[in-house]
Structure 1
Amino acid sequence: MLTIKKVWFDETRIFVELSDNRVIGTPIAWYPNLRKGTSKQMQQFEVWGNGTWLHWEELDEDLSLEGFLTYKQEPVKA
């Protein structure tokens, strides 16, 4: 079963390393509740569902492994 092994952030992205050693990075801006959080708040997450969900209690955010693998941000139309 594919799971989240590691999570980290830089200034603009959230990264997850998966149990098959893939690394996926997506923009924090895609997740409005994370975007509003401080660096300290973003570090306060829990891994749920046997490694398939990330949960931020204080930021009211939940991200799934499936979402990291399939989510695509729609382009902003001018």
Structure 2
Amino acid sequence: MSISAESVQFDDDQMWVNLSDGRTLGVPLAWFPRLLGATADERGAVEISAFGLHWPDLDEDISIQGLLAGRGDQTGTGGRAA
């Protein structure tokens, strides 16, 4: 069974991802500097696919498998890299 995102919400410090298996992941925005510095409208412009989360205007892609493994930004722009 493949786990995918069903929805995404934000608060001041966290991104909350509701998964198809019923779990909700809370991920610190500090792991993803592009999202941390984005406006609420920019964060809300997420595209959800079977592969993960994509913000075209922010050039940000986050895989669900990466989130489940505890990986943050892997581009070297900051954030937590596992």
Following TM superposition, by how much is the alpha carbon of 1:29 offset from its aligned partner in structure 2, in angstroms?
1.1
Q: TM-score if structure 2 supplies the norm length?
A: 0.79
User: Rg bigger for which structure?
Assistant: 1
Q: What is the DSSP-based 3-state SS (H/G/I as helix, E as strand, rest coil) of the residue aligned with 2:21?
A: coil
Following TM superposition, by how much is the alpha carbon of 1:8 offset from its aligned partner in structure 2, in angstroms?
0.6
Cα offsets for 1:1-34 (capped at 9, x unmatched):
2111111111110011111100100111110111
Higher relative contact order (CA 8 A, sep 6+): 2
Could you tell me which runs of 5 or more consecutive residues in structure 1 were left unpaired when the two chains were aligned.
none
Could you tell me which runs of 5 or more consecutive residues in structure 2 were left unpaired when the two chains were aligned.
72-79
Following TM superposition, by how much is the alpha carbon of 1:47 offset from its aligned partner in structure 2, in angstroms?
1.2
Matched, 1:22 2:23: yes
Matched, 1:7 2:8: yes
Q: TM-score if structure 1 supplies the norm length?
A: 0.83
Please list every run of at least 4 consecutive aligned residues from structure 1 whose deviation after the TM superposition is greater than 3 angstroms.
none
For 1:36 and 1:60, locate their aligned partners in 2 and report how far apart those are by CA, in whole Å: 13
Q: What is the DSSP-based 3-state SS (H/G/I as helix, E as strand, rest coil) of the residue aligned with 1:58?
A: helix
